[in-house]
Chains A and B, each alone.
Chain A
Amino acid sequence: MRHEFNLVKLAENIYEIPKTKKMARVEGQVKSFEMLVPARVYANEALLSKIKTDQTLDQLTNVSCLPGTQKFAIGLSDAHQGYGFPIGGVAATLEKEGVISPGGVGYDINCGVRLLRTSLNDGEVRPRIKELLNALFDNVPSGVGSSGTIGAITPKDLDDILENGVSWAIKKGYGWEEDAANCEEQGCLPGNSQKVSGKAKSRGKTQIGSLGSGNHFLEIQRVAEIYDQTTAKALGINEVGQVTAMIHTGSRGLGHQVCTDYLRTMEQAVRRYNISLPDRELAYVPGHTPEAHDYFEAMCCAANFAWNNRQMITHWVRKSFSDVYKRKAEDMDLHLIYDVCHNILKKEEHVVDGKKLMLNVHRKGATRAFPPGHEKLPKHFQPTGQPVLIPGSMGTASYLCVGQPRAMELSFGSTAHGAGRALSRQEAIRNYRGREIANQLQMRGIYIKAQSDTVIAEEAPGAYKSIDQVVQVSHDLGIVKKVVKLVPIGVTKG
């Protein structure tokens, strides 16, 4: 149903839809739902006008009807229509009485971004970029039906991955000891592999170390601008022109199946608990129920799988640099700066109305952005705040930021996760030719290697919102601080 929303501007970049009753059509009947909290959007006028063109606000007000929701349902500056919950949103609910919903995390559990630094500069990398992209393309399989180069892993190894997180890959030699400390949650959440179905395990068994397709990518970048020298230095970024590598992928078929399985489980539970939903994809159960507990443990497993996936890819990135430059990765300073999740559910403590509460924080297309001094950050990030990685679309800039104190007040310690689409894929294919886009990017010094021209058209820079504006809104709100702007030199896509 199309709604007119009463969007009130509270301050620069802050808009709110006050609590109200809302009507929704459910299986042919119109039902009334009560918004328990306001819905908030953090955006500037230009981004907001894009957000208004799809179902984002309708979905966001549905989220604000979920039992136990605290403060407000949040749409970030990159928000767009999703399924059930919008993408680019945060919903925090009371740990026990509040709800847990697989739709609030999404199908690609622990889809996330990782950034590696190097001691190379663009003058050394540009002349060999094609060689480097070819090596990456061979070492990191991508596209439909892509399996990792190590083939199928044993059921025992898979269980180890699902329960012990990124330490599996590091133990097997696919990483450096220090890598785990530079991942959100140190690359491990408390999973129980028995809660993951045989189907999900079967979908994941060959996919570890593969990129997938769609908006996932592997990118070689150069530092274009440094906004905060001190923080940049602390994170190992010393000068403009320095080269970095970014990895964007998630938990592949394993995570997709975990979400599908538990969406179905919760749907049955919804009937049993007699819950009425404005949208079937919002299926939820209260946090204290066995279904909620099982989903959380399975989701943690999928998150652990994703960290191993990005870790394996990290290994192949290091190897690709090593092969091309005939130097050890260690000698090229290929350290992991950080690894963030942007589709995840966390149990976190937050202050609501002056009280500390344990909450289920659903981040769907949202990145954690804890400020300096936050107790959950490891010691080495205490002075800087948590590194936040916000990737742009293909061919546009990405940002390295750090979390700031106002994130705790405004967004449950969260910020945007990327540019967010502005055009549908069909419109993009109608408007752009993959080959032309690739040629235009090449003239700007950006090489693209993709499985098909169609994916290049779908992912054309013009099909996305402006990443610069998305990040600027978070920066101006004091949710994050911009540290470094990165622009691509070479991209491989599925």
Chain B
Amino acid sequence: MARDPTTGHEFISHPADIQVAVWAPTLEALFRETALVLARLMVPGPEIALDREIEVVTEAEDVKSALFDWLTEVLFYSDSELFVLGDVDVRSVESLPGGRYRVTSTFKGEAFKKGHHVSGTEVKAITYSYMTLEREGEGGYRLEIIFDI
């Protein structure tokens, strides 16, 4: 999947953890970009084969929590199945009645191979700390998020 030029991210200086700003025209692209930033922090390279797919659907009480829960799944599969995320197909980030949100996605990647994959920064958790997710007019969305490492 090619990256939209209006989608991107930059790291923000943080005293101890990793803070990143992410922008994208849609919530789906925003979620995907954030997951890929997270995955590359943990395993910077080399290129990840996409030979395993995992269906991941999460639902939560608001959009930030939906993102928090969904990104936590990346950490869950990394620890419990040594799964390295290479790409992700975010099919929808839907708004449901009562302010709830549902994320429907497919994680794509492969098993971590020692000596082949680079061991980067282990992310312990996604945090709500100073988390902002705002709509920027017609330009799309901007997120700031901190990963605890």
Q: Which residues of B contact A260 (CB under 8 A)?
A: 72, 125-126
Contacts of B119 in A (CB 8 A): 142-146, 213, 451-452, 494
Question: Known: A264-B65, A424-B14, A426-B13. Is A83-B122 also a contact (CB below 8 A)?
Answer: no
> Are the C-beta atoms of A267 and B65 separated by less than 8 Å?
yes
Please give, as numbers and ranges, the residues of chain A lying within 8 Å of B121 by CB-CB distance: 144, 213-214, 425, 454-455, 458
Q: Does A281 contact B (CB under 8 A)?
A: yes
Residue B129 CB within 8 A of the other chain = yes
Q: Is the interface of B mostly helix, strand, loop or mixed?
A: mixed
Given A202-B80, A203-B79, A256-B75, decide whether A421 and B13 contact each other with a Cβ distance below 8 A: no
B15 interface neighbour in A54, A199, A279, A458, Cβ under 8 Å: A54
Residue B89 at the chain A interface, CB threshold 8 Å: no
Residues 59-105 of A contacting B (Cβ, < 8 Å): 80-84, 87
Give the tally of cross-chain contacts (CB within 8 A).
126
Question: Cβ of B79 and Cβ of A107 under 8 Å apart?
Answer: no
Q: 8 pairs across A/B with beta carbons < 8 Å?
A: A84-B129, A144-B122, A145-B114, A213-B119, A279-B129, A421-B15, A454-B120, A455-B121
Q: B interface vs A, CB < 8 Å?
A: 11, 13-18, 42-43, 61, 65, 68-69, 72, 75-76, 78-80, 82, 84, 112, 114, 117-122, 124-129, 131, 146, 148-149
A395-442, CB < 8 A from B: 421, 423-427
Known interface pairs A145-B112, A427-B13; A280-B118 also in contact (CB < 8 Å)? no
> Which listed residue, B16, B61, B129, touches A281 by the CB 8 Å rule?
B129
Contact A83-B129, Cβ < 8 Å, known A144-B121, A264-B65: yes
Contacts of A188-217 to chain B: CB distance below 8 A: 199, 202-207, 212-214
Cβ–Cβ < 8 Å partners of B72 in chain A: 257, 260
Within 8 A of B (CB), among A329-364: none
| Shortest Cβ gap from B7 to chain A (Å) | 21
Q: Is the CB of A144 within 8 A of B75?
A: no
A146 CB contacts on chain B under 8 angstroms: 119
Given contacts A145-B119, A256-B75, contact A83 B61 (CB under 8 A): no
Q: A256-B124, A260-B126 are in contact. Are A421 and B16 (CB under 8 A)?
A: yes
- A6 an interface residue at 8 Å Cβ cutoff? no
Q: Min CB distance, A158 to chain B, in Å?
A: 13
CB pair B124–A83 under 8 Å, yes or no, is: no
CA distance A206 to B81 in the complex (A): 9
Task: Tell me the bound Cα distance from A107 to B72 in angstroms.
Answer: 13
10 cross-chain pairs, A with B, having the tightest CB-CB distances, nearest first: A83-B129, A143-B119, A253-B79, A213-B122, A203-B79, A145-B112, A280-B128, A202-B80, A107-B125, A451-B119
Say whether A256 contacts B120, CB under 8 Å: no
Interface string of A266-281 (1 = CB under 8 A from B): 0110000000000111
What would 12 more interface pairs be, CB under 8 Å, given A107-B148, A199-B80, A260-B72? A87-B16, A107-B125, A144-B112, A144-B122, A145-B43, A203-B79, A256-B124, A260-B126, A280-B131, A421-B16, A452-B118, A454-B121
From A53, A83, A213, contact of B17 by CB (8 A): A83
| A160 at the binding interface (Cβ < 8 Å) | no
Shortest Cβ distance from B69 into A: residue: A264
Decide if B78 touches A257 in the complex (CB within 8 Å). Answer: no
A327–B79 alpha-carbon span in the complex (Å) = 36
B61 lies within 8 A of A268 (CB) = yes
Closest chain A residue to B83, Cβ basis: A145
Report chain A residues within 8 Å CB of B65: 264, 267
For the complex formed, measure the closest distance between the CB of A55 and the CB atoms of chain B, giving whole angstroms.
8
Q: Which of A453-471 contact B (CB under 8 A)?
A: 454-455, 458
Name the A residues within 8 Å of B122 (CB-CB).
143-144, 212-214, 494
Whether, in the assembled complex, A147 has its beta carbon less than 8 Å from a beta carbon of chain B, the answer is yes
Task: Indicate if A184 sits at the interface (CB-CB under 8 A).
Answer: no
Most buried by A among B14, B65, B68, B119: B119
Q: For residue A108, which residue of chain B has the nearest CB?
A: B124
Q: Are B43 and A144 in contact (CB under 8 A)?
A: yes
Q: How far is the CA of A145 from the CA of B82 in the complex (A)?
A: 6
Which of A121-170 touch B at CB < 8 Å? 142-147
CB distance from A418 to the nearest CB of B (A): 11
| Nearest Cβ on chain A to B76's Cβ, whole angstroms | 6
